[in-house]
Amino acid sequence: MVYSAIGLMSGSSLDGLDIAFVEFQEQGGHWSYEILEAECSPYSKEWQERLKTATGLSAKDYLLLHAEYGHYTGRRVNAFIEQHGLQYKVAVIASHGHTAFHLPAQGMTAQLGEGAAIAAETQLPVVSDFRALDIALGGQGAPIVPVGEKMLLGEYDYFLNIGGIANISLNADHYIAFDVCPANRVLNMLAADAGREMDEGGQLAASGKIEDALLGKLNGADYYRKPWPKSLANEFGTEIIYPLIREAGLSPADALCTYTEHIAEQVSQAVTALPSPKKNARLLVTGGGAFNRYLLQRLDSHLSQKGISTVLPDSRLVNYKEALIMAFLGVLRWRQEYNTLSSVTGAARQGIGGALWTGQEA
């Protein structure tokens, strides 16, 4: 069977809406894929601010934004379809949405971008709200990409995605995955203190020095001592970690250097805590942080001591792995097959997550 789907992902780094048009083929339970078209539709400053501050809105204004962002997302998809000549080629759209609230301990998660609005704009079937069922089943609702990693990229031993939050996966019979630490969201906030949108390639961080006292405080955060399954809300980085760094009074270069080392150390510790699948293991690195050369150097320094090599794939997979997997989760939902792993999230059972909205007339 062949399925053509669009996957949508909006990460906590707020750079834009990732859109990927993917063709999947299933033969005898084995899946292959090809990303045929992909792009990041950048957010305007206004949309960045509105998404960033959504958690401070009243219930009414939040729901109004939820609907408006859904219509905005649908229009972006329509423009993508028009630009690449994909009319009548898309079977289903799978939208992760933009996470505003993530409170699994309280049984709640919320992603902006109403699926019904996307379906109304595109007149195509849309799957949204992927995390809700897993949360209802007592799980963390995150990470949700491991199903796609396992079924599409099974030749690797570990997966590290460095987005707004860094998360790690172990590809084993008992699949394990969890959020490691805040990453690009905090790095970008620190770069903004130096008047930059981002620290391109980690150049500013590489020019600084590590402040050991601050590094010790960062590594001492309670979250890092929790066992998996576990996941992070954006607020851990923006309201706890970033203010802690600012209190240290460091130059932007030293702050970036110290926080980069923190990410590298936490990833290394996370890998150490996982059961080792085999010697000479390979770790696939994706997400925007994969282009941070200094961060990759620090990761290599830590992981090579454990016999783990880092693999940087082609730029399309680096940039659009999560959008690719959202498309795949949508296809699984369409097929009424499990698209979450309870071994990862801690839910009572596997789930077929996602609300399905029919956009076209019968």
Q: Are residues 59 and 41 in the same domain?
A: yes
Q: Are residues 92 and 219 in the same domain?
A: no
At residue 343, the pLDDT reads 86
At residue 127, the pLDDT reads 98
Q: Are residues 11 and 52 in the same domain?
A: yes
At residue 360, the pLDDT reads 79
Does the residue 171 lie in any domain? yes
At residue 277, the pLDDT reads 63
Q: Which three-class secondary structure state does DSSP give residue 340?
A: coil
Q: Are residues 254 and 197 in the same domain?
A: yes
- Judged on CB neighbours under 10 Å (0-12, 13-18, 19+), 163 is buried
Q: Are residues 74 and 129 in the same domain?
A: yes
Q: Are residues 155 and 112 in the same domain?
A: no
At residue 14, the pLDDT reads 82
At residue 156, the pLDDT reads 92
Q: Are residues 82 and 16 in the same domain?
A: yes
Phi, psi of 46, deg, nearest 5: -65, -45
At residue 36, the pLDDT reads 97
Cβ 211 vs Cβ 258: under 8 Å: yes
336: domain CATH number is 3.30.420.40
Does the residue 325 lie in any domain? no
Q: Could you tell me which of 182, 175, 118, 185 has the C-alpha nearest to residue 144?
A: 175
Does the residue 324 lie in any domain? no
Q: Parallel, antiparallel, or unpaired for β 2-10 and 16-27?
A: antiparallel
Q: Are residues 105 and 135 in the same domain?
A: yes
Supply 233's token pair.
């809300």
The terminus-to-terminus CA distance of the chain in angstroms comes to: 23
Q: Could you tell me which of 208, 216, 287 has the C-alpha nearest to residue 255?
A: 208
Does the residue 24 lie in any domain? yes
Q: Are residues 31 and 93 in the same domain?
A: yes
| pTM of this structure | 0.85
At residue 12, the pLDDT reads 74
Does the residue 212 lie in any domain? yes
At residue 362, the pLDDT reads 61
Domain count, the chain: 2
Domain encompassing residue 342: 2-143+331-357
Cβ 48 vs Cβ 41: under 8 Å: no
Supply 161's token pair.
């995605």
Q: Are residues 48 and 182 in the same domain?
A: no
Q: Are residues 192 and 94 in the same domain?
A: no
Does the residue 128 lie in any domain? yes
Q: Are residues 309 and 176 in the same domain?
A: yes
pLDDT along the chain (362 residues), means of 10: 96 88 95 97 95 96 98 98 97 96 94 98 97 96 89 93 93 90 96 94 97 97 93 92 96 98 96 80 93 97 92 93 96 96 92 92 66
